[in-house]
Amino acid sequence: MSGFLQHTFNGLVGGAFYALLALGLAVIFGMLRVVNFAHGAFYMLGAFGAYVLLTEVGVPFWGALVIVPAALGLLGMALERAFIHRLTRLDPLYNFLFTFGLTLILQDLVRSRYGVQSSPYTTPAGLQGSVDFGLFTFPTYRVFVLGFAILACLGVWWLLTHTRIGMVVRAATERPELTRAFGIDVGRWVTPVFGFGIALAGAAGVLAAPMRAVNPLMGADLIIVVFAVVVIGGLGSIFGSVAAGFGIGLIQAWGEAYLSETAPILAQTLVFIVMAVVLLWRPAGLFGREEAPA
């Protein structure tokens, strides 16, 4: 029983990363109708940001958790203004290509400066121990990561449901043309929302630095699963992305724990099997809606 609880808790921690990244993708897609292929690269930049701040400036983890997402958010806003904005009116393929190309450029820039070997980053001093939950103990840092992700998701939910900005974003996500017809300047909110999505990816990257290998390709491997999460949750569905993020984390952890020895292939492909089944059953994802005809 304690084993099962432990694996469940662990799955939620893994899911926390998926949820933070999928949430960013969902708000960006909702507002801009852009699938941001560069999301994994921004996650990687988040981790490298933490590493550079620590080794070259001496800013510890906590400082990085504030500075890096803010800086990446601004970078995201600049990129939206300079490039993505100009491409949204064209075929969606142009933004696919742009964000994909951006990923390659960012990866290679980091690679040329820091190499391919992973850069060291240690767990912040205050979070190195373990928390005793009675039935099992768990590394404090992982408990913190889970808490952070849940707070971030709740924070976004509150913003969306209790503020005027949130209302505009929700309305623009559901029916952009109709929202404009009511005289609301949707365009004004596009850039900050894009920056916010990127900032979430940056925060996930900072959180990953102490527990994962910090290298230029760290985002490229992760983002494949995150796209599966977004598809399962329903593209553009904010609640769906979070629920699917944690759900996939759980499914992955249970699969690895109980299927690795008997059916390793199944354990490793479980996420994509779930995705295929969901798509067959509900092509728009669990919480997504069929796009209204334009």
Q: Which residues bind other proteins (CB under 8 A)?
A: 3, 6-7, 10, 13-14, 111, 115-120, 122-123, 130, 139, 141-142, 208, 210-213, 215, 217-218, 221-222, 252-253, 256-257, 260-261, 264, 268
Minimum CB–partner distance for residue 26 and other proteins (Å):
22
Q: Which string of DSSP letters, residue by residue, matches 78-133? A: HHIIIIIHHHTTS-HHHHHHHHHHHHHHHHHHHHHHH-SSPBP-PPPGGG-SEEE-
Spatial neighbors of 168 by CB under 8 A, at least 6 apart, are 179, 184, 186, 189
Q: Helix 264-281 vs helix 218-233: angle between axes, to the nearest 10 degrees?
A: 40
Tokens of 264: 């390793």
Helix axis angle, 186-208 relative to 140-162, nearest 10°? Answer: 170
CB of 207 to other proteins, least distance (A): 12
CB of 255 to other proteins, least distance (A): 9
What's the closest the beta carbon of residue 235 comes to other proteins, in angstroms? Answer: 24
Residue 19 CB, nearest distance to other proteins (Å)? Answer: 14
Pick 197 or 216: Cβ nearer other proteins: 216
Name the residue nearer to other proteins (CB basis): 264 or 283: 264
Q: How far apart are CA 198 and CA 201, in angstroms?
A: 5
Nearer to other proteins, 91 or 261 (CB): 261
Separation between Cα atoms, residue 215 and residue 189, nearest integer Å: 33
Q: Can you read off the two tokens belonging to residue 105?
A: 């450029």
Closest CA to 278 of 246, 242, 238, 248: 248
Q: Minimum CB separation from other proteins for residue 166, in Å?
A: 32
Which of 73, 247 has the CB closer to other proteins? Answer: 247
Closest contact distance (angstroms) between CB of 14 and other proteins is 5
**C-alpha torsion sign, points 35, 206, 75, 240:** positive
**Residue number with CB closer to other proteins (156 or 218):** 218
Neighbouring CB atoms inside 10 A of 33's CB total 15
Cβ distance to other proteins smaller for residue 108 or 177: 108
Nearer Cβ to other proteins (10/95): 10
**R_g of the chain computed on alpha carbons:** 19
